[in-house]
Every structure is written in C-alpha cells, then in structure tokens.
Amino acid sequence: TCGICVEKCPFDAIEIINLPSELEEDPVHRYGDNAFALYGLPVPEPGSVTGILGPNGIGKTTAVRALAGEMIPNLGQWSEEANWDAVLDRYRGSELQNYIRRVMDGDVTVARKPQYVDQIPKQFDGNTRQLLERTDERGALDELVDRLSIRAVLDQNIDNLSGGELQRVALAATLARDADFYFLDEITPYLDIGQRVTAARLIQELAEDGDRSMLVVEHDLAVLDLLADTLHVAYGEPGAYGVVTSPKSTKNGINEYLNGYLNNENMRIRPSAIEFEEHAPRESAKGTPLLDYPDLEHSYGEGEFSLSVEGGTIYHSEVLGIVGPNGIGKSTLAQLFTGDLEPDNGELDFLVDIAYKPQYIQIDQPMRVDTFLSSITDDFGSSYWNTEVAQPLQLERIMEQQLTDLSGGERQRVAIAACLSEDADLYLLDEPSAHLDVEQRVRATSAIRRYAENHDATVMVIDHDIYMIDLLADRLMVFDGEPAVEGHASTPQEMRAGMNDFLADLEVTFRRDERTGRPRINKPGSQLDRKQKREGEYYYAP
Ligand code: ADP
Ligand code: ADP
C-alpha cells in the first residue's frame, strides 16, 4: 500500500512503495506488540498556531496525550516502564527539548476542545452559562460570547443546542481557559464560513497573547491555510501506524499534501494529485432540465423567518453547490422541493423524488450497518454498488458494526451511502464534509461527482468547505439575507458569478496558488485583497 490505506488500493493504482525512513527508527510510542505505533511528534511553538493535516486514526490524540504530560511515551519499549528522562534524551538538542523539560516539571497547563461536540450534552447537565462559567479563567468570556454569537443561547439547556451552537460554545469554553497549550481537534464542523473565519481569528489572537501554543487539527484546508503558522502533515495506516512529519510552512505543507508527495520525507502518500481548475470554472453541462421552478416565497408565520427564491432550472447530471450562512433557509428550500412545505407564493408543478441527507444525522437504530444499507437498496453488495459507493466511502471495514457504535466520520459516510443508494431524481446532501477527515473528503467528493455523471443524477450539495465546493460543483446557488430573519436564494449561476456574489457578501477574497491552483484566502486589507475587491473579482482572480 502507499501508506494511506490498510486494504486493497481503492484507486487500483499503487505501485510506488517507499517505506518512510522514520519507520526504521523506534517509534515515539507503541501501544503493544503489533499494536499501533506513532512516529514523530508535533512541536508546540509558543506564540503561534501549529496545524496538523492528515487522516483520523493515525495518532493525533496519542501525540497530544504525550505533549499534555498525561502519558509518558515509551519510545517503542512497551514492555518496560516508560520514563521522561529517556524521552528527554531522545529529544535532546531538538526543538522539543525545552517543551519536554517543562512537561516533566509539571509546568504545562493544557486546554482542549474535543472533536465530536455532539457528545457534550451526554457529559454535561445544565445550561450554556453554567458550562462556560466553569472555564472562564481569563475573564474573556464576555468577548468570546459576543464574537461567537452565542449570547442568545446562554440560558438554554445544553441538550437543546444545535451542532453549530455546540461547536461555538465548545470553542468559547476552551479559549476561555488560561493555559499554555491548547489543543483544538477540528474547529469547523457545522459552522458557516463567516463563523469559521471568526474562530480562526480568535485562535490566532490567543496565540499572540502571552506566548501560548495552539495545536489545531483541521480538515477544511482553506481555514487551515488561513489559521496555521506552521504545519505538520500526518500520514500512515489508520489503526496501524502514524507518522507526524517535521514542521513545514503551511503553504508547502498543504501543497505537498494535495500533490500526494512529501518532498523532505521523499514519501508518496497518494497515487495522484488533487487538482483544482486554475482558470475558468467548469461550464455547466446544460443537459436536459430536471426541473423548472418559478419565483417562490415562504414564511413560517407572521414575523417569523421568511424565504424568497429566485426561479430557475436544474439539469440532469449536474452538481449544484449551495452556499450561504446557517439559518438562511437552505433546508426550507429543500422542503419546498420535496413538497413537505407549501410555498405562500409561486407554484411548484413538479414532483421529484428527493433523497435527503440532513446536516444532523439521525441513524440511531440498534442495527448493523450492512442490515441498514441493504434495507435501502437491492443493489447492496453488487459489484457496481461496491465500486461506486462502498469502496470510495470506505464502508467495508465497518459493515458489521452497530449504527449506534459509529464515530462521527463513520456515521457521515454511512449516511452519504444511504442517501446515494436511494432511488431518487435529486440527491440533496447537507454538509457531507462534517467530521470527514481530509482524505475522506477527497474520496467522498469524487464518489459524489462520479455518481452524478454515471447515473444521470442531479445532486445538490450544501457545504461550507470551499475546496469541496470548488471540486464538486458545476454551478452555484447562493443564499444571502439575515439568518433567522429573512433569506434569499439566487437562481443557479455559473461558478464565477456565484462565488463572487457569495464572497462579496462575506468580504473575503481568494487568490489562486500559483503551483496547485488551489484557492487561498487573501489577508484582509492586503494589496491583492483590496485590488480584487475593487475589481469585483473575489474568487477567480488571476
Ligand atoms: P487519532 O486521534 O489520530 O484519531 P488516536 O491517537 O486516538 O488517533 O489513536 C491511534 C490508534 O491507536 C488507533 O488505532 C487506536 O485504536 C490506537 N489506540 C489508542 N489508544 C490505545 C490504547 N490505549 N491501547 C491500544 N491502542 C490504542
Ligand atoms: P439553513 O438550512 O440555511 O440553516 P433553515 O431553512 O433550516 O436554514 O432555517 C431558516 C430559519 O427558519 C431558521 O431561523 C429556523 O430557525 C427557521 N425555521 C426552520 N423551520 C421552522 C419552523 N418549522 N417554524 C418556524 N421557524 C422555522
């Protein structure tokens, strides 16, 4: 294998095998005979944000437990008692030496944000204010509450918060702590782009204030790029071994990752590069229309949220990206299309079968994954279904597990598979990227695109990950307005026009990386940022 998967290569492509040279040395930690081994550690830098880019299951939590002093790394000698002096010896003369000395002296305090915020209500009984007050060690809570827009939910019970609210509450709770070392395991799930950018800023500001070290695992590459000062790429075989590289510049780390080849390590981590279209966006296929719809209006009642929709046409075999803030009416539109809601104005004279994957996944039956999926489609287990759905979504290894035992990323993959397995005219996926690691996003993206092309299927994808939208979508529907008050949906537009609309609203501009063509967020107020805003080219500027 190339080092990113345990089983048969899903790309049928791997021949290059160069075992990483790190594996010839002893690992930093090994859990036991033939058990998972971790090679390399991230280096927390005071005053800066260190990113980790790589799949789940390759030892990030293990590394953080070591850096937090909760576990003494055994340097591969699992049968002997580990001790810090040996660890210090190993890292003598390296950048980690001072840090390890401080851990040994019990001098490092740690704050961490867990990966799966959905679990918080199971662990905490009370309202938001009670949760936050327990962590307000810096007296910064008031500002955090305002900037993360969670004042409205302060007196709500934690049980009643949405995923996006929980994510922001968890961020506030972690950043309110007074620590030397902060570990944030994913900051973006369920947040819209504006909220993602705010979270990134808060983390950077805290790093700068008082020499704190921030370590962030993040799978949204545009946000990671904006956020991190340096980057460790992590790779390996989930469950078997993980390698954390030496720090790279954020730009090079992401470029090498996308290229599938790590330069310094001389290591191929993927058979092919992930490519962005540098120049003009894809022309939409403009095949046969699936449906036409007129201007529509819907409101939930006097003074409640109202949505206006600009009419348009949606085509067969196209992937329509849907972007906009949370609470702006995206799922309301989905329910108008399915017929679950009636428009107040405008008439929908089509009835399409919509397969819908909601943002918050509810698959909690006590049932095995294979039983669940075979109840949805007769194709289950066919070679065609295996190639198109099971393999790219890496379901083989979890088929026999109970739905209730799945991790967040596993649930997401099962839910995407369940949606695509339905017999429908239109597949609507709400935030498929949530909880997928970066490799899984890449695979899910190509699975969804291929599915649309091979099945004459129309796919609508709501997502806040710009890279995923860029790689997936033929055209864009843009929502704007005021969340929870009123929303407006544009007619489906070409990518360039759509992205310009969307980003102008956010006042964020992107440039293209000269080597990989990937979009990079411009520094606000930079020359390029100002120039692109003047010219109205927020996204596809040269
Ligand atoms: P990540 O945070 O990157 O998802 P972890 O550090 O949690 O990864 O785990 C990496 C691997 O180590 C996993 O395969 C996990 O099952 C294994 N592992 C974690 N803790 C233990 C342990 N105490 N004993 C044996 N294996 C473990
Ligand atoms: P999005 O999918 O863009 O996050 P939604 O369409 O779910 O937005 O919701 C838009 C707004 O409508 C939100 O403020 C939400 O609280 C409100 N809303 C959604 N469903 C109802 C309902 N059944 N009754 C009243 N308000 C609702």
ipTM of the prediction: 0.91
Q: Which atom of ligand 1 is nearest to the CA of 56?
A: 4
Q: Give the integer Cα–Cα distance in Å for 152 and 175.
A: 19
Nearest CA to ligand 2 atom 5: 329
In angstroms, what is the span from residue 303 Cα to ligand 2's centroid?
Answer: 13
User: Taking a C-beta distance cutoff of 8 angstroms, is the pair 46, 251 a contact?
Assistant: no
For 112, the token pair is 């961490």
Q: Name the band, by pLDDT with cuts 50, 70 and 90, for residue 278.
A: low
Of the candidates 326, 214, 286, 203, the residue with the CA atom closest to the CA atom of residue 474: 286
Of the candidates 173, 204, 168, 206, the residue with the CA atom closest to the CA atom of residue 187: 168
In angstroms, what is the span from residue 451 Cα to ligand 1's centroid?
Answer: 33
Eight-class DSSP state of 26: P
In angstroms, what is the span from residue 365 Cα to ligand 1's centroid?
Answer: 26
Q: Which atom of ligand 2 is nearest to the CA of 307?
A: 10
Q: Name the band, by pLDDT with cuts 50, 70 and 90, for residue 390.
A: very high
Residue 2 near ligand 2, beta carbon < 6 Å: no
The pair phi, psi for residue 167, each rounded to 5°, is -60, -45
pLDDT of residue 18: 46
Residue 300 near ligand 2, beta carbon < 6 Å: yes
Find the residues whose C-beta lies inside 6 A of ligand 1. 31, 35-36, 56-62, 239
Residue 331 near ligand 2, beta carbon < 6 Å: yes
What is the 3-state composition of the chain as percent helix, strand, coil, each rounded to the nearest 5?
Answer: 35, 20, 45
For the ranges 12-21, 273-282, 484-493, which has the lowest average pLDDT? 12-21
3-state secondary structure 167-221: HHHHHHHHHCCCCCEEEEECCCCCCCHHHHHHHHHHHHHHHHCCCCEEEEECCCH
In angstroms, what is the span from residue 158 Cα to ligand 2's centroid?
Answer: 19
* Model pLDDT for residues 343-361, shown as the tens digit of each residue: 999 999 887 899 999 888 8
The pair phi, psi for residue 233, each rounded to 5°, is -90, 140
Residue 328 near ligand 2, beta carbon < 6 Å: yes
Q: Give the integer Cα–Cα distance in Å for 508 and 499.
A: 10
Nearest CA to ligand 1 atom 6: 59
Percentage of the residues of the chain whose pLDDT score is greater than 70: 94
Q: Give all strands (DSSP E) within 209-335, no chain letters.
A: 213-217, 230-237, 241-244, 248-249, 261-262, 267-268, 289-293, 296-299, 306-309, 312-315, 319-323
**What distance lies between CA 439 and its chain's CA centroid?**
10
Does residue 282 register a pLDDT over 60? no
For 183, the token pair is 């570990």
In angstroms, what is the span from residue 36 Cα to ligand 1's centroid?
Answer: 7
Amino acid at 457: A
Nearest CA to ligand 2 atom 6: 329
Does residue 13 register a pLDDT over 70? no
Phi-psi region of 293 (alpha: psi -120 to 50; beta: other; left: phi over 0): beta
Nearest CA to ligand 2 atom 26: 300
Nearest CA to ligand 1 atom 11: 239
pLDDT of residue 16: 35
Q: Name the band, by pLDDT with cuts 50, 70 and 90, for residue 92.
A: very high
**Can you give the pTM of this predicted structure?**
0.90
Q: Give the integer Cα–Cα distance in Å for 347 and 478.
A: 21
Q: Give the integer Cα–Cα distance in Å for 255 and 270.
A: 13
Nearest CA to ligand 1 atom 21: 31
**What distance lies between CA 80 and its chain's CA centroid?**
39
In angstroms, what is the span from residue 479 Cα to ligand 1's centroid?
Answer: 41
For 230, the token pair is 């340096």
Cα separation values, 39 from 183, 261, 525, Å: 19, 18, 40
pLDDT of residue 2: 47
For the ranges 13-17, 333-337, 507-511, which has the lowest average pLDDT? 13-17
Of the candidates 317, 313, 355, 270, the residue with the CA atom closest to the CA atom of residue 454: 317
Of the candidates 238, 232, 223, 216, the residue with the CA atom closest to the CA atom of residue 440: 238
Angle among Cα 437, 439, 441 to the nearest 5 degrees reads 70
360-389 per-residue burial string, b: 16 or more CB within 10 A, e: under 16: ebeeeeeebbbebbbebbebbeeeebeebb
**Sign of torsion over alpha carbons 484, 488, 491, 496:** negative
